[in-house]
Amino acid sequence: MWTVLWVQNPKGPVRKRIRLSGCYGLLDQLLNPVSSAWNFTMVLFLTATIITLHNSSHENQTTENPTPQGAHVLSSMLVISLLLIIIVLPTVYFLRFRNHRKALVTSVDKKIPNGFLEDQGEQTVVLLPRSASSSKRYFPISLDSLEDQFRIRSADDCKLFREEFNSLPCGYQHSFFEVASRVINRDKNRYPNILPYDHSRVLLTQIDGYSCTDYINASYIDGYKEKDKFIAAQGPMHNTVADFWRMVWEQKTATIVMLTNLKERKEDKCYQYWPDQGCWMYGNVRVAAEDFTVLVDYTIRKFCVQYQGSDGPRAPCLVTQLHFTNWPDFGVPFSPIGMLKFLKKVKTVNPSYAGPIVVHCSAGVGRTGTFIVIDAMIDMMHVERRLDVFGFVTRIREQRSQLVQTDMQYSFIYQALLEYYLYGDTELDVSSLEGHLQKLHNTRAPLERLGLEEEFRKLTNVRIMKENMRTGNLPANMKKNRVLQIIPYDFNRVILSMKRGQEFTDYINASFIDGYRQKDYFIATQGPLSHTVEDFWRMLWEYRCHSIVMLTELKEREQDKCFQYWPAEGTATFGDYTLELKGDALCDTFTLKDMVLTYGPEKQSRHVRHFHFHGWPEIGIPAEGKGMINIIASVQRQQQQSGNHPIIVHCSAGAGRTGTFIALSNILERVKAEGLLDVFQTVKSLRMKRPHMVQTVEQYDFCYRVVQDFVDIFSDYANFK
């Protein structure tokens, strides 16, 4: 019996013929398949001496007429063979897939959006094809020309950035992965094609003299001038956690930078290698959770780490993990502001005496390389007044291949460096606030010290992205906008559930805005119109809001600013929603209203508290900051009691006063937590999420003055730390 196995390449007519002798040959080929890039077709021919072969390009057929006796034999053999196939093949295929569930997949049909390919378990990082211009060189850029160069490279959908990225060498041509490729170490690699070079890998101390115990998928990486400033590592796996902490201990690392979430799009990216509370033993290393702080862009965790040797425990040390949580599943962060704040925190936290900073994402190349390059180039900017992204990436790829994995990450590096160059470090300690305010209001301030108007003028340079306002500009939605210049961006607009059979009922002029600690903590919206009141209450119901902050009167200067969307007394119904006023009280500069909102179809109710600030004059800004401080504190207390769901904030258009309130809430929260403030970047972040937030220079100045009033009220720093 002969079996011919057709192996057909999906890209062309090439076919291969493999002879199999009996069931053992069949089993062997099925359990040891040819490349998974080939499609298999099994054809069984039962002849006495001849195998028929069909070629796709031409057909040559040779046959020999069998004798009648041979025909009976062949018929019997055919029946037996078919029975064997029916019985054996299911078992064989089961064994094949069980034994080869870790086989690499290269079929384009199985490409995962995050740049990984996977099949049955093992993943491999997709290494993008290189361009023909791989020998092209790019030279350092002076800071004076950085803005122009960024604009030129960004044109035509970042075409020149892609060309520059594709010209990068993949890695060090004369190095090897011999240790990482050993069979005994293969299970320690998350991705089989992302391995550390032999010459730059981190060597662990061998355990009991076994050479295989010195391996971990991690590489030394230089900083701008500092040799081995970083260790770039893959995200720990369940079987490498003990090695990871052993590396941290042996390298005297004090800071771990984590740039991935444990899961992204339901895929495991990193094993949780730390205890949430209490302590855990990882091999011989004891790790105890000491403290953690959750912020909107990152989380800070502190651990007490102690090595438990055979001769007794060693002196413990403090290790800080900074976990950047705002990297999206696809692409890169929307803005580099969060990454720059995160990077500064890493620099602040890491002590000068410590060993290398351990940086990891999932594979330890893409986000990890991006972070390292931004750090190094900022240092270079300070020393040389220029930057050399291409040269530095080329250099560190000789220490670990594929650092900075995509052209999007590459252009994000430039975006972060341009942001830093244009705006610098605008963070202040509360102790320096008074002096900074004097400089802002001093018209004779030195040129390097920007005045208040100049600082605000930089904010007006934040581009309004009209191309991202398509939904709000649809004809059916235009009438729902109070001010046509203030329309929410599509990427962070509040989306309502669509009413059955009614198009365009998912739109409301409202935007999600991040808080200091929590993403989408605020909803910035316009004052409801008469025909959008039901949408307003629908938004509150669907997003489980319990707090509303109103910063305008119903009428100002004889102009309608907001429709009265609550009952003056008793109850009022707006579509499916019924509102009952339970009580109100005047608290200095604002009114508190307690109401119960009932959704008719579900017959469910919810308590809502309405904060109506009366301290904002029709023209200008409040005379003092105390009233604003009080209402912010009152809203925060309400949030703690009601579960920290989004706070709805509105004035008339939902930009000027609304932006000022949200900015101050975030600024004061940070002052209390860290004793730091950054009015400029706080307002800039708001303007990137909704047009014209903090609309005037007077409102911008008011933010500074309220913070100063807050510091004066709590002059003893310990009172609000």
Which residue has 């089989």 as its token pair?
Answer: 192
Average pLDDT over every residue of 163-183: 88
The reply to whether 61 falls in a domain is yes
Same domain, 545 and 443: yes
The whole-number pLDDT of residue 126 equals 61
Do 218 and 281 lie in one domain? The reply is yes
**Are 520 and 639 part of one and the same domain?**
yes
On whether both 153 and 69 belong to a single domain, the answer is no
| Residues 410, 310 share a domain | yes
Given a contact cutoff of 8 angstroms between Cβ atoms, the answer to whether 549 and 611 are in contact is yes
**192 and 250 co-located in one domain:** yes
The answer on pLDDT for 33 being more than 70 is no
Q: Is the pTM of this model over 0.75?
A: yes
Strands (E) in 325-469, as ranges, are: 357-360, 386-387, 428-429
Q: How many Å apart are CA 630 and CA 668, to the nearest integer? A: 12
Of 49, 79, 99, the residue at which a domain comes to its end is 99
- Extract the tokens encoding 308: 């438990």
Measured CA to CA, the distance from residue 19 to residue 35 in angstroms comes to 17
Q: Are residues 90 and 224 in the same domain?
A: no
Q: What is the mean predicted confidence (pLDDT) over 627-647?
A: 96
Q: Is residue 333 part of a domain?
A: yes
Choice between 76 and 403, residue whose per-residue pLDDT is larger: 403
Which CATH number is 400's domain given? 3.90.190.10
Query: Which residue, 392, 423, 454, sits at the end of a domain?
Result: 423
Q: DSSP string spanning 691-719?
A: TTSS-SHHHHHHHHHHHHHHHHHT-SHHH
Based on the fold, state whether residues 647 and 527 are members of the same structural domain.
yes
- Is the pLDDT at 102 greater than 50? The verdict is no
Look at 546 and 717; give whichever has higher pLDDT: 546
**Average pLDDT of the segment spanning 354-364:** 98
At residue 115, the pLDDT reads 33
Same domain for 23 and 162 = no
Question: Residue 258: which residues within 8 A CB-CB, separation 6 or more?
Answer: 235, 270, 321, 322, 323, 324, 360, 361
Shared domain check, 312 and 175? yes
* pLDDT class of 136 with cuts at 50, 70, 90: confident
Least confident range of 102-116, 132-146, 469-483, 583-597? 102-116
Asked whether residue 683 carries a pLDDT value surpassing 60, the answer given is yes
- Please indicate, yes or no, if residue 133 is contained in any of the structural domains: no
Whether 703 is catalytic: no
Lowest-confidence range among 109-123, 178-192, 314-328? 109-123
Q: Which residues pair with 583 in a beta bridge?
A: 594
Residue finishing a domain among 99, 125, 157: 99
**Could you confirm whether 651 is annotated as catalytic?**
yes
What percentage of the chain reaches a pLDDT higher than 70?
79
Domain membership of residue 132 (yes or no) is no
C-alpha 177/C-alpha 339 separation (Å) is 32
The residue type at 505 = T
Q: Are residues 511 and 648 in the same domain?
A: yes
Query: Which residue is it, tokens 């004798």?
Result: 67
d(CA 31, CA 40): 13
Identify the active-site residue in 361, 545, 562, 703.
361
Structural domain includes residue 408:
yes
Q: 121 lies in a domain?
A: no
Of 270, 545, 562, 651, the active-site residue reads 651
> Quick one: tokens of 461?
């340079």
Mean pLDDT, the chain, whole residue set: 85
pLDDT of residue 716: 54
- What is the reported pLDDT for 330? 83
Q: Is the pLDDT of residue 450 over 60?
A: no
C-alpha 244/C-alpha 32 separation (Å) is: 35
- Specify the pLDDT at position 542: 98
Helices (H), 647-696: 656-674, 679-687
**Do residues 396 and 222 touch, judged by C-beta distance below 8 A?**
yes
597 part of a folded domain: yes
Residues 447-474 have a mean pLDDT of: 88
- Residue 488 and residue 362 share a domain: no
Residue 169 sits in which domain range? 141-423
Q: Which two tokens stand for residue 10?
A: 């999906």
Total domain count for the chain? 3
Least confident of 6-10, 85-89, 170-174, 558-562: 6-10
The answer to whether residue 63 is domain-embedded is yes
